[in-house]
Amino acid sequence: MALVSALSPHAESQLDVIVSGLYSSGYVVLDHVFDDNYLTCLLKELIDLKPDDFRPAGIGRDDEFHKNRFVRNDRIHWLEGDETFLSSYRTWGESLRLAVNRRLFLGLYEYECMFAHYPEGAFYKRHIDAFNAGINRRLSTVLYLNPQWGSNDGGELLMYAPDSDKVINRISPQMGRLVVFLSEEFPHEVLPAKRARYSLTGWYRINEGRHPAF
Ligand code: OGA
Ligand code: MN
């Protein structure tokens, strides 16, 4: 799908809104970045991924992989980068990466993303996306794909102020809503969802590399 039909007419100026929001607050919540038809296609394609490809989400790095059902019980599917239906999304992600680097000098290097499915009752307790040394995550993105999400459907994202118990935002996972935040700054949690809840979630990393062992 061509980029032009995937993005809303205001997509270019929305990049500025995201960058300015990150600069002033460290996080931003935005609706209507993507065209409605594109979002519908995206959700269909993602759901069509074979359910066997989903696995219970883990906490932490692969080599320390452990599942803790008391912390999170969503199911995730890592995206490889060759999914053609995601090419417009990735093109947009690349323009965001460049805009952020140009204006905020974050040195974002690569983007990894996954499709997350919270079955009814699933949650993800308070956490920080970059809590493990070596993960190098700097910027988190969440795009919600839930048509007609109601106020009684739960599943809100609670954002906390850095190093605080103060809730600064309670975000309903509405279709097309995008949340972008500095991964190391903001603790957050997903309240139990009362119906299936879908999102496309990703992280920009910096290229820190590992020190060679001598
Ligand atoms: C995560 C996460 C938030 C959300 O996957 O790390 O915090 O609202 N997701 O789905
Ligand atoms: Mn998170």
- pLDDT tier, 64 (very low <50, low <70, confident <90, very high otherwise): very low
Q: Are the C-beta atoms of residues 41 and 48 closer than 8 Å to each other?
A: no
- pLDDT tier, 145 (very low <50, low <70, confident <90, very high otherwise): very high
| Burial grade of 102 (CB within 10 A; 0-12, 13-18, 19 or more) | exposed
- Angstrom distances, CA of residue 157 to CA of 49, 69, 90, 174: 25, 18, 23, 11
- Higher pLDDT: 204 or 2? It is 204
Query: Cβ neighbours of residue 150 under 8 Å, at least 6 residues apart?
Result: none
The conformational region for residue 82 under phi > 0 = left, psi -120 to 50 = alpha, else beta, is alpha
- Find the range with the poorest average confidence among 46-50, 53-57, 68-72, 206-210: 53-57
Any ligand 1 atom below 6 A from CB of 33: no
Any ligand 1 atom below 6 A from CB of 74: no
Per-residue pLDDT at 152: 97
Token couple for 84: 């053609």
Any ligand 1 atom below 6 A from CB of 183: no
74, 126, 188: residue to mutate for ligand 1 pocket, most atoms within 8 A of CB: 188
- Angstrom distances, CA of residue 150 to CA of 51, 91, 144, 147, 199: 25, 31, 13, 9, 16
Residue with tokens 């949690």: 189
pLDDT digits (tens, 9 = 90+) for 97-127: 999 999 999 999 999 999 999 999 999 999 9
Distance from Cα 65 to the centre of ligand 1, integer Å: 18
46, 55, 157, 181: residue to mutate for ligand 1 pocket, most atoms within 8 A of CB: 157
123, 128, 149, 190: residue to mutate for ligand 1 pocket, most atoms within 8 A of CB: 190
Per-residue pLDDT at 71: 85
pTM for the structure as a whole: 0.90
Question: Strand 178-182 and strand 137-144: pairing?
Answer: antiparallel
- Using the atom order of ligand 1, give the atom closest to the CA of residue 199: 10
- Using the atom order of ligand 1, give the atom closest to the CA of residue 155: 8
User: What angle separates helix 11-25 from helix 87-104, to the nearest 10 degrees?
Assistant: 50
pLDDT digits (tens, 9 = 90+) for 23-63: 999 999 999 999 999 999 999 999 988 655 566 776 655 44
DSSP 78-100: E--S--GGGHHHHHHHHHHHHHH
Per-residue pLDDT at 112: 94
pLDDT greater than 60 at residue 3 = no
- pLDDT tier, 136 (very low <50, low <70, confident <90, very high otherwise): confident
Hey, which of 56-65, 73-82, 143-152 has the most confident mean pLDDT?
143-152
Residue with tokens 């989903």: 54
